[in-house]
């Protein structure tokens, strides 16, 4: 493995060129107009993984976007690592806020700027190149499988069925994922937890048609005003969520564990500065890291209705809408929370409006144990390449399929993410530092080596 740095040095331009080719295909999973791009990306990955040394690779159709599956089996008696990632990306709007075109990647100030540069094309591609290195230098210590999906950003609606249908093919000892972040460039960390998600859409209807706001204003309920009042009541003055039973299944983390978590470096001043906010906000009694890692939250993701065009139009709209998501912690169930939300939202609606609540998607949180061979293998890998021990961190983000992998495949995941908070994933000017890209490629082979050695014991 001591040759990995040289291998990267000799091939670094080619690695970057190849990643750029992957990024150039605009694989936005939520937009129908990109349907063909999803196939193109899956096929492109298949070709790349075969070139890197896989025995076989296939693009599998699903009810939605295809899954690329590949494998290299060197000896059925050896452990098998299943690498999971997603080739789909988020939409790019607002386009005018990008400093360069989202699907024309370029390097500026040592960072790759493009949609998918980090989430997740840049991160999954590190695995393809680490695999290539291990094969080309004859150091692959175990079997490897790749499952790269195209629907993560829309809630992986078809991957569960794919796993059920292909349980035998996907058989593995551990699932390795790079789709999260680390504390800082020089502070490696391992994601030890993810939050779950319940995502709702609400529709509030007032009068049966838009009304003149002079002829009716003050006499008929305005659904936008009502929606705002309803949303406002979903959290109280302590920023607790007011939905009855919302916290019912939340596991209170012990003081000892909280003290342990608080050891992870976090600079509130730098956090505020990076976001240009003068104060943070959150549930009373908890720190910012705790708000993200161990507490559930509720946020409006979008709200619309009425007139938003140029100039003024005097109108009381017939309808108002909002998309509301709740981030959940382990042991909260997303279906149950969706039902509690719907019941509550209907109950608080005043008689002057009708409401309709729809659950869009959801998924469960995940806690990754730190006393497993895979955790130890990851820990030692980071310690080798960064020269310091990684810190376990519970992330606020979600990858709902990870909990389902455990249910369906019976296999735990290890989350070795290399992204930074400044990568602006899902936002304009998404980027991924070259340092993180190459450091990921360097670190992954050590995970494989350590894992196989630890499993042998
Ligand atoms: N890679 C992210 C999740 C992530 C990022 C977790 C950084 C931890 C740190 C993933 O692609 C994502 O965006 N997930 C969605 C969930 C999905 C159901 C749309 C999310 O968290 O909003
Ligand atoms: Mn992702
Ligand atoms: Mn994402």
395 lines ligand 1 (CB under 6 A): yes
365 lines ligand 1 (CB under 6 A): no
Atom of ligand 1 lying closest to residue 419 CA: 7
* Mean pLDDT of the 165-190 span: 97
**Burial (CB count within 10 angstroms: exposed 0-12, middle 13-18, buried 19+), residue 17:** exposed
Is pLDDT at 224 greater than 90 in this prediction? yes
- Residue 2: predicted pLDDT: 82
| Backbone φ, ψ for residue 301 (5° rounding) | -95, -20
Is pLDDT at 392 greater than 90 in this prediction? yes
Ligand 1 centre to CA of 449 (Å) is: 28
180 lines ligand 1 (CB under 6 A): yes
- Residue 1: predicted pLDDT: 78
- Residue 217: predicted pLDDT: 97
- Asked if residues 153 and 89 have their Cβ atoms less than 8 Å apart, the reply is yes
Ligand 2 centre to CA of 303 (Å) is: 24
* Mean pLDDT of the 399-412 span: 97
Choose which residue among 159, 198, 399, 402 to substitute to test ligand 1 binding: the one with the highest number of ligand atoms within 8 A of its C-beta.
399
Give, using CA atoms, the residue closest to atom 16 of ligand 1.
398
- Residue 331: predicted pLDDT: 93
Chain segment 312-342, per-residue pLDDT in tens:
999 999 999 999 999 999 999 999 999 999 9
Entry pTM: 0.95
Nearest ligand, measured from the Cα of 299: 1
**Partners of 71 in the β-ladder:** 56, 145
- Residue 457: predicted pLDDT: 79
Ligand 3 centre to CA of 122 (Å) is: 12
Two tokens, residue 323:
């998309």
- Residue 232: predicted pLDDT: 98
Chain segment 361-390, per-residue pLDDT in tens:
999 999 999 999 999 999 999 999 999 999
Sorted by where each starts, the structural domains of the chain and their CATH numbers stand as 4-194+365-456 (3.40.630.10), 196-250+296-363 (3.30.70.360)
401 lines ligand 1 (CB under 6 A): no
Atom of ligand 1 lying closest to residue 363 CA: 18
**Quick one: how far is CA 324 from the chain centroid?**
17
196 lines ligand 1 (CB under 6 A): no
Give, using CA atoms, the residue closest to atom 10 of ligand 1.
399
Ligand 1 centre to CA of 3 (Å) is: 33
Nearby residues for ligand 2 (ion, Cβ within 5 Å): 119-120, 179
Chain segment 244-259, per-residue pLDDT in tens:
999 999 999 999 999 9
| Backbone φ, ψ for residue 30 (5° rounding) | -85, -10
Nearest ligand, measured from the Cα of 393: 1
1 CB-side CA count, 13 A: 17
* Mean pLDDT of the 64-78 span: 98
Choose which residue among 301, 398, 400, 424 to substitute to test ligand 1 binding: the one with the highest number of ligand atoms within 8 A of its C-beta.
398
- Residue 218: predicted pLDDT: 97
179 lines ligand 1 (CB under 6 A): yes
152 lines ligand 1 (CB under 6 A): yes
Give, using CA atoms, the residue closest to atom 20 of ligand 1.
398
- Residue 121: predicted pLDDT: 98
């Amino acid at each position: 493995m001591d040759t990995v740095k040289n291998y990267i040095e000799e091939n670094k331009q080619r690695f970057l060129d190849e990643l750029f080719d992957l990024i150039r295909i605009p694989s936005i999973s939520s937009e129908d107009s990109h349907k063909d791009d999803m196939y193109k990306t899956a096929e492109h990955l298949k070709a790349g993984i075969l070139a890197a040394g896989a025995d076989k690779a296939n693009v599998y159709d699903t009810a939605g976007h295809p899954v690329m599956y590949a494998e290299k089996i060197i000896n059925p008696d050896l452990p098998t690592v299943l690498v999971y990632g997603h080739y789909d990306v988020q939409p790019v709007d607002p386009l005018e806020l990008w400093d360069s075109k989202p699907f024309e990647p370029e390097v500026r100030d040592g960072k790759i700027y493009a949609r998918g540069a980090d989430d997740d094309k840049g991160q999954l591609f590190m695995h393809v190149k680490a695999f290539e290195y291990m094969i080309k230098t004859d150091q692959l210590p175990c079997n490897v499988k790749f499952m790269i999906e195209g629907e993560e950003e829309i809630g992986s609606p078809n991957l569960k069925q794919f796993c059920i249908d292909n349980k035998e093919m996907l058989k593995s000892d551990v699932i390795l994922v790079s789709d999260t972040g680390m504390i800082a460039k020089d502070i490696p960390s391992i994601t030890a937890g993810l939050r779950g998600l319940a995502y709702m859409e609400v529709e509030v209807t007032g009068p049966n048609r838009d009304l003149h706001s002079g002829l009716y204003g003050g006499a008929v309920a305005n659904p936008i005003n009502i929606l705002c009042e309803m949303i406002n009541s979903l959290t109280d003055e302590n920023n607790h969520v007011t939905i009855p039973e919302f916290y019912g299944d939340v596991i209170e983390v012990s003081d000892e564990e909280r003290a342990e978590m608080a050891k992870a470096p976090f600079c509130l001043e730098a956090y505020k500065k990076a976001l240009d906010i003068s104060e943070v906000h959150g549930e009373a009694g908890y720190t910012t890291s705790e708000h993200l890692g161990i507490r559930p939250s509720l946020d409006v993701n979008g709200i619309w209705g009425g007139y938003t065009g140029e100039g003024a139009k005097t109108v009381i709209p017939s309808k108002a809408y909002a998309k509301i998501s709740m981030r959940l912690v382990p042991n909260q169930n997303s279906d149950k929370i969706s039902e509690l939300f719907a019941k509550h939202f209907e109950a608080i609606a005043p008689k002057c409006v009708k409401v309709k609540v729809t659950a869009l998607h959801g998924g469960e949180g995940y806690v990754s144990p730190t006393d497993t061979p895979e955790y130890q293998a990851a820990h030692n890998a980071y310690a080798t390449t960064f020269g310091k021990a990684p810190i376990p961190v519970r992330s606020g983000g979600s990858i709902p399929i990870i909990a389902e992998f455990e249910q369906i495949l019976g296999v735990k995941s290890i989350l070795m993410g290399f992204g930074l908070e400044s990568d602006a994933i899902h936002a304009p000017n998404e980027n991924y530092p070259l340092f993180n890209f190459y450091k990921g490629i360097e670190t992954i082979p050590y995970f494989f080596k350590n894992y196989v050695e630890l499993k042998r014991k």
